[in-house]
Amino acid sequence: MIKKIKSAIQDRLYQNCIEEYENSLRCQSDPYLMWIRETEHALQQEGEEESYPSLSVVYMDMCTEQFDINDLNKDIILFVSREGKIGVNAFREVVQYFDSHNDIDIVYGDEDIWMLPEKEEENPDNEIAHRICPWVKPMWSPDTLFSYLYFGNVFAVRKKAFSDVKWLGMDDWRMNLYDFALQATERGKRAGHIEKILFHTYLPAKNKEEAVYKAMHRTGLIGEGTDYDFIRELAMQRRGIKGKFVVDEKTGYTYPVYDVKDNPQVSIVIPSKDHVDILKQCIRSIYRLTEYKNFEIIVVDNGSTAQARMMLEAFREECEFTYLYQPMEFNFSQMCNLGVKNANGEYILLLNDDMEVIEGSWLTRMLGQATLSHVGAVGAKLLYPNSDLIQHAGITNTIYGPGHKLKQMSDAESYYYGRNKFIYDMIGVTAACLLMKRDIYVKIGGLYEGLKVAYNDVDLCFRLCEKGLYNVQRNDVVLYHHESLSRGDDMQDEKKLKRLMEEMDELYKRHAKLYRQDPFNGTIMNSGEPEYQCRWLEGYEFADLTGYQDQVTIGKSLPNEKRMNQAIMIVVENCGKEKFLKAGSRKMSYYLVKGWAYVPGVDNARYKMKLLLKNAEGKVWEIPVMKRYRKDVAAILPDETNVEMTGFCCWIYEGSLPPGTYDLWLTAKDGCSRQRLYRNTEKQLEIEA
């Protein structure tokens, strides 16, 4: 009887844990609606928009053959689509932007989807019920604009700046506007970006699920397809650029292939050690398929076995390459830099030894892109071998660190306005296949050798962006990357995990302004998940902090470490004072500790976690943490149970703890037993006096 009672109690406890877990998961599954409530609640109601005599609204479908911008008598022209409605305060935002940016003559804003259900049961003007899928546009991106009109359904210009632009005069207003946008951003002009929702596009759908699917896989955008090629050709003529347009017959997408003058040599640098078979496959595929023939291959070996060296020396009789053998500790950056020092080419291509070329024009397309004066690094789309699953389609700088969007998703579909289909300017591209001018590589110092394994390519791309150059993701260039589909093992290797976090810390020390920021992806959308979706922002996570800080208590001393059960894996992503943000209703500065932690091999819904801060005297403060939805963690740990809510956040108000240095520990209490786990995060928090 006692055993049955204990079993029933445990079952009830477990069910309570699961119910609490699932409730938290539901509450955090749609952060965009929370973002709307917290960031736009103070906006004026529609109908109260102020009058702006300097601004004229032009519906895009009016821009047909006879349209003339000089017929308008206002200083600012706002182009908007009829297929939706203008956002509250959009006029004000546009006017204020031009008033404060005298050097900008064309500006675009963000937008979202206004879902129109087939059976409307609610107030059609209830934005909370209808608004989904924000389209957060990148900063000025010339190569993206050459793919399609990413300005979308709302952009504005100063009339006087473009009064001399020759109107295309086609019956199709879409072609006229695309040509106008290309002309307006030439002659050294760049476009500005208002990072606010200025337009809501109507989208009929049976339900929200269907609407989200349609929104995230939209095609038929202005500038997309062969019909617009002649407009791009006119732009290339004006810019003095030669090339041709090639159509992908499978998809109908069009890509520019730029001419390359004087047949420059490309030096392909491949770091490798003891990967004889995979390296042979890589080099053979280059020689067998590559149409552009003026290249050399340099293999940098940091210490293969004698047998592997002998096999590679013999392989040089089949495929010519320079073989640099220099035993040293693995340092990807140092190996690449060594290869570049011994290179003869005007262009450098960094290539992993596990890459496989699968079509002939890959190098021609990448090289042509790299010749353009505004371009830094050029990357390719990488697929897992013999599949359509995406491994890499550009680097995004997320709130959890640099990451690969769309990883392990099918390339058969187009995602988030063609992010895996069009040519896109991005914050970075992977050095698994990265091409750039050698003189730029040398001038900025090559790969930073202080980042031995990870994020060295990201650091390179960050530096290129900081120099005003653009990193371009050529999604029409596709190679196979023979990387394992399962990356969970790396995240469970404690040493690798520690090294990864240390190198990420070093990356952001070198580029503090880019910490958690990606100007090519926008603040709202730089979540760590593979999909493009709204992230959680600390600014509105504080809504549930009522009474939270009062739970900071002095706890018991930590148990003897030899007796601790330390079966917790921890990643701390934030640990320090947020100087410019204010927490909750108290409007006080705070210290933020944020990351994720899980217990391998068990149901993580059972565990409740707390942060422990231990000072130099051995006193311990116990602080509750808030669980956070981490879809990215679930993606990299597919074999673990209920890891979606293993993210945690903790805010410590200034003045809550005595000044000093605190060791950070995490403890996890099993809600169904007496088990308690402990783990040192190996991070310290400095509390200022």
Q: Which of 600, 597, 602, 633 is nearest to 612 (CA)?
A: 597
Q: What angle do CA 262, 264, 266 make, to 5 degrees?
A: 165
> Is residue 145 over pLDDT 50?
yes
Per the rule left: phi > 0, alpha: psi between -120 and 50, beta: everything else, 496 is: alpha
> Is residue 528 over pLDDT 90?
no
User: In angstroms, how far apart are the furthest CA atoms of the chain?
Assistant: 91
Q: Tokens representing 358?
A: 């699968």
> Is residue 45 over pLDDT 50?
no
Q: Which of 204-208, 519-523, 542-546, 623-627 has the lowest mean pLDDT?
A: 542-546
Q: What is the pLDDT of residue 580?
A: 39
Q: Which residue has the higher pLDDT, 401 or 95?
A: 95
Q: Which of 199, 165, 196, 200 is nearest to 96 (CA)?
A: 196
Q: List the domains of the chain with CATH numbers.
A: 32-240 (3.90.550), 256-514 (3.90.550.10), 538-687 (2.60.40)
Strand pairing report for 569-583 and 401-404: unpaired
Mean pLDDT of the region 510-518: 91
Q: Which residue has the higher pLDDT, 630 or 518?
A: 518
Residue the block writes with tokens 């973002």: 35
Q: What is the pLDDT of residue 491?
A: 53
Is the CB of residue 469 less than 8 Å from the CB of residue 373? no
One-letter identity of residue 575: C
Q: What is the pLDDT of residue 587?
A: 54
> Is residue 582 over pLDDT 50?
no
Q: What is the pLDDT of residue 687?
A: 86
Beta bridge partners of 396: 403
Q: What is the pLDDT of residue 545?
A: 37
Q: How far apart are CA 180 and CA 321, in angstroms?
A: 48
Q: What is the pLDDT of residue 564?
A: 75
Strand pairing report for 470-481 and 375-383: parallel
Q: What is the pLDDT of residue 220?
A: 92
Condensed to tens digits (0 to 9), the pLDDT of residues 228-276 reads 999 999 999 999 999 999 998 877 899 999 999 999 999 999 999 999 9
Q: What is the pLDDT of residue 689?
A: 76
Mean pLDDT of the region 552-569: 74
Q: How far apart are CA 462 and CA 483, in angstroms?
A: 24
Q: Which of 124-128, 410-414, 640-644 has the lowest mean pLDDT?
A: 124-128
Q: How far apart are CA 332 and CA 178, in angstroms?
A: 43
Condensed to tens digits (0 to 9), the pLDDT of residues 62-78 reads 999 999 999 999 999 99
Q: What is the pLDDT of residue 488?
A: 43
As a dihedral over the C-alpha atoms of residue 156, residue 159, residue 163, residue 168, rounded to 10 degrees, the angle is: 30
Q: Which residue has the higher pLDDT, 15 or 173?
A: 173
Is the CB of residue 620 less than 8 Å from the CB of residue 614? yes
Is the CB of residue 422 less than 8 Å from the CB of residue 431? no
DSSP three-state, residue 296: strand
Averaged pLDDT score across all residues of the chain: 87
> Is residue 666 over pLDDT 60?
yes
**Local confidence band at 402 (pLDDT 50, 70, 90 cut-offs):** very high
Mean pLDDT of the region 169-175: 97
Q: What is the pLDDT of residue 5?
A: 59
Q: How far apart are CA 153 and CA 484, in angstroms?
A: 41
Q: How far apart are CA 635 and CA 254, in angstroms?
A: 32
> Is residue 634 over pLDDT 90?
no
Q: Which of 540, 557, 592 is nearest to 41 (CA)?
A: 540
